[in-house]
A and B are shown apart, each in its own frame.
Chain A
Amino acid sequence: METLKTNMVILGGGAAGLCAALGAVQVSSSIRLILVSKGLIGKSGSSRMVQGGFNAALKGDDSWKLHLEDTLISGEFINRQDLVSTLAKEAPRCIEQLENWGCFFDRKEGNIHSKTFGGQTKSRTVHRKDFTGIEVTSKLFDQLLAFEEQVLFLQECRALQLLQNESGAVAGVIVFDIRKGTLYLIQAKVVVLATGGAATLFSVKAPPMEKSGDGMALAYRAGAQFVDMEMVQFHPTGLVVPGTLLNGSVVEEGLRGIGGKLLNSQGERFMERVSPNHKECANRDVLTRAIYREVKEGRGTENGGVWLDLRELKEDVIKDEFPNMWKRISLLGKDPKSDLLEVFPTAHYMMGGIRINPYGQTSISGLFSVGEDAGGVHGANRLGGNGIADSVVFGLRVGQNAAIAAINESELQRNFQLSLEKQCNQLKKKLQSPFLNEKGVNPFYLRKKLEETMSQLAGICRNEQGMISALHFIEKLKEWHPRTYINGNLSYNLALQEWLNVENLLIVASLIIHSALLRRESRGAHWREDYPEKNDRDWLSNIVIFKERDQEEDHQLKTKIEPVSFTMMSPETVNSRKSILPPETKLRS
């Protein structure tokens, strides 16, 4: 075991983590930080996979206020408004900053071009064809390489446990080196969680498999508060390719923006019926429910999807503006000019997460959170293009704030709750434990069962009875977990990684369901068939959920239901101004 001491640790090598690191080194040349990434920095996680783009109000007829309004309407007004206004105000400046770092976005007549995305009154999604994520993450990493003296990269390492001092403040982290199979004990003044969400909990999903709510699980164990965990976004158009890992990968929203149509098995363009004004450009939650209903009511395809029809689009436009989509479609042997694509909603993003303030501080001293780890920005439904904007805007901001906090903290904490040696020994013993089982459950099987349970009982459509059954099954899986069998050794062992992933996913699954049981209404991504109506009278509120520090059992979860604070805009003010958005985006069941 190696011991390291530093000012700050950032967990996560996606856009949020990279931006947090760049934000921190800008604060002072004296800042030293360690960037810990479970995969290769900039190459793992979801930021790399961003196809669509980055929302920023850049055009003359657009403004941060319209961006704010669209985000709040889409989020069904349970977003935390101070976070949304920060996002909308700072996004244009971040685009400028990104271009200064060599991330160039597509242009038309010299100006930055933007796409039309669902639920937005203006076309404000800035992009680089359909590989915006590669452009952003690779250029952020290039920039960071210049700060070699300040930043230590620990790639293919995962955090196992936060270190807390006697008063509960976070003072470091224990990290497992996936390649070597050894531990690092890192003492730090602050820790930033930027590991992403856990939408991989479902059978059909878009994010990379290694995203397993690690930051959320660490924060949960440390006693942090979570907000609106029931809000899990399903992207309406995930590819249906049974039996392959391409199943659930996203078909870019921009293709619907330029005229891609959704058809049921009877050939009907059902979005004309469901959302006559927006059709395929309606919000993601509207499309997801509509597709789910078509399939449920027997108008789906053989594989349980609907058709995406791109036949009327110009071949050159798809090839030129969506080259990765073209490649993916071609890989499947399809020709968009003659073949229909089979699609179904795919688990995509978690709007809920660790509760933060606009400085990225969590409820635990010394612990910051940013990106998909954190909740509150997107409310009940995230707009396409707001995800990477969130990671960059808050990444830079939270990185700076965490660095300032680290500078202000004069010394490393040394009075830990438990002796460091004891904590490390406990972890070593735990890591060895599945190798000692002579036979047992395979961790991949465990994950499959968890995914099936979540999809069937707590996915797109939920009810109380189903979710209670899901909780019971999750308890069973928690009992099975210690009996898992793994062979080989600790270094680069994918089964061991999956075992650790499942442990974290079980925590996040449980938080999602507990929160979803409390919200007795349907709002945005949270659709309850036993409470199908949106209920503004009782539920314009955030659900806060957490366990007390040192409390072991999660059936003693603490919950709080807090009314939303309408500091910028309320549903009434928007309605009274006769917002440009037609009624069905606001008044839906």
Chain B
Amino acid sequence: MKAYNNDLIAGGGINLVDVKIRRFHPGKDQHPYYSWFRVESAANQTVLDILTVILQEHELSLSFRFSCRTGLCGSCGMIINDEEKLACQTLANTLGQEITLEPLKNYPLIKDLTVDLTTSYSKYKKIAPAFAKNHDGSISGISRYLKHFPCLHCGLCYSKCKVVAIQPSFLGPISLHQMYVLEDLGKNPFSNYRKQMATHEGGIFDCMSFGCCGAVCPQSINPMESIHHLQHKWKK
């Protein structure tokens, strides 16, 4: 039975949606629980709009992260009705009468819908992600690079990755995609290091090609494809 956390229960208009939010504050709460809210949803409103209404009008202690609100920063990733999505890019009226919101998986939880996205940076740093000065950056490499949409580091693919879930050492889609982008740009001083990193345990050969990563990317990047390119390049 739904126990609503706000008093907008009456009304029954067609624009009312039920929002179920997973709540948990590690160190403070003993167990995770769900809060239910019934809110009005207008046309063009996104999940982020609805969350903002809940925060400002009904539940001041609710936590979630957002910044740009226009799909550019990748801060508002969460699981919306079982699928990794950006809240600011998901229209509420496409989700039916009930919306379930949960935090991204494979990241440590900070509070409610907020996870510590920076944890994947420890893996990201391992692949030497910076473009090096003595990298040749050939024109053909650059023109291929310019066709890619940039990764937002929103973490949706990392949350969806089934390998990360069972094998914590797996470098993961964000890092391996960046490795491919840098290698595709041309000769560079970190190639040997990256090859070693990529062909070790936790590298490209641990990808199981589920393809979940590309399916949730808001930028239409397919990290699995990038990993396949690297597998081809650095065959065992």
Contact = CB atoms under 8 A, between A and B. Distances in A.
A494 B118 contact: no
A491 B27 CA distance: 11
B72 interface: yes
Give 10 closest A-B pairs by Cβ, nearest first. Answer: A102-B131, A488-B61, A444-B56, A245-B69, A495-B60, A44-B67, A492-B111, A208-B67, A492-B63, A142-B130
Interface in B24-70: 25, 28, 42, 44-46, 48-49, 52, 55-56, 60-65, 67-70
A39 B182 CA distance: 27
Interface of B: 25, 28, 42, 44-46, 48-49, 52, 55-56, 60-65, 67-75, 88-89, 91, 110-112, 114, 116-118, 121, 124-125, 128-131, 133, 135, 137, 139, 142-143, 145-146, 149-153, 178, 182, 185
B125 A145 contact: yes
B131 A139 contact: yes
Interface in A127-166: 128, 131, 133-135, 138-139, 142-143, 145-146, 148, 153, 155
Nearest to B114: A492
Given A494-B60, A495-B60, 11 more contacts: A40-B67, A128-B150, A143-B130, A146-B130, A208-B68, A327-B71, A487-B60, A488-B60, A488-B61, A489-B61, A491-B25
29 contacts: A39-B65, A40-B73, A43-B67, A44-B75, A49-B70, A101-B130, A101-B131, A104-B145, A104-B146, A128-B150, A142-B129, A142-B130, A145-B125, A145-B129, A241-B44, A244-B46, A246-B44, A246-B70, A324-B70, A324-B72, A327-B89, A328-B71, A442-B56, A492-B63, A493-B63, A494-B55, A494-B60, A495-B60, A495-B61
B39 to A, nearest CB: 12
Contact of B67 (A48, A324, A331, A495): A48
A319 interface: no
Contacts of A43: 67, 73-75, 153
Contacts of B112: 492
A23 interface: no
Nearest to A493: B61
Given A107-B146, A138-B153, A244-B46, A145 B121 contact: yes
A442 B152 CA distance: 33
A494 B182 CA distance: 37
A323 to B, nearest CB: 7
B75 A39 contact: yes
Contacts of A135: 150
A106 B146 contact: yes
Contacts of A243: 42, 44-45, 49
Contacts of B72: 48-49, 131, 133-134, 324
Contact of A492 (B46, B70, B110, B146): B110
A244 B49 contact: yes
Contacts of A486: 60
A155 B118 contact: yes
Taking residues whose C-beta sits less than 8 angstroms from the other chain, chain A's interface range is: 35 or more
B142 A107 contact: yes
B61 A487 contact: yes
A426 interface: no
B8 to A, nearest CB: 16
Nearest to A443: B60
B69 A138 contact: no
B63 to A, nearest CB: 5
B67 A494 contact: no
B217 to A, nearest CB: 13
Interface of A: 39-40, 43-45, 48-49, 99-102, 104, 106-107, 110, 128, 131, 133-135, 138-139, 142-143, 145-146, 148, 153, 155, 179, 208-210, 241, 243-246, 249, 323-324, 327-328, 331-333, 442, 444-445, 486-489, 491-495
Given A48-B67, A246-B44, A492-B111, A104 B142 contact: yes
A145 B130 contact: yes
Contact of B75 (A40, A104, A133, A146): A40
Contacts of A155: 118
A488 B59 CA distance: 10
Nearest to B121: A145
Nearest to B52: A245
A509 B55 CA distance: 25
Nearest to B116: A179
A135 B46 CA distance: 26
B46 A245 contact: yes
A331 B63 contact: no
A503 to B, nearest CB: 17
Nearest to B152: A134
A210 B67 contact: yes
A491 B60 CA distance: 13
A494 B149 contact: no
B133 A100 contact: yes
Contact of B69 (A99, A134, A145, A246): A246
A234 to B, nearest CB: 18
A492 B113 CA distance: 11
B150 A134 contact: yes
A49 B73 contact: yes
B125 A148 contact: yes
Contacts of B65: 39-40
B3 to A, nearest CB: 18
Contacts of A323: 149
Nearest to A147: B130
Q: Which of A99, A110, A133, A208 has the most CB of B within 10 A?
A: A208
Contact of A324 (B71, B110, B178): B71
Contacts of A492: 63, 110-112, 114
Contacts of A324: 70-72
A439 to B, nearest CB: 12
A489 B25 CA distance: 10
A78 to B, nearest CB: 31
Given A104-B145, A134-B150, A494 B62 contact: yes
Contacts of B71: 324, 327-328, 331
Contacts of A148: 125
Nearest to B61: A488
Contacts of A145: 121, 124-125, 129-130
Nearest to B117: A40
A478 B120 CA distance: 41
A308 to B, nearest CB: 17
Nearest to B70: A249
A138 B150 contact: yes
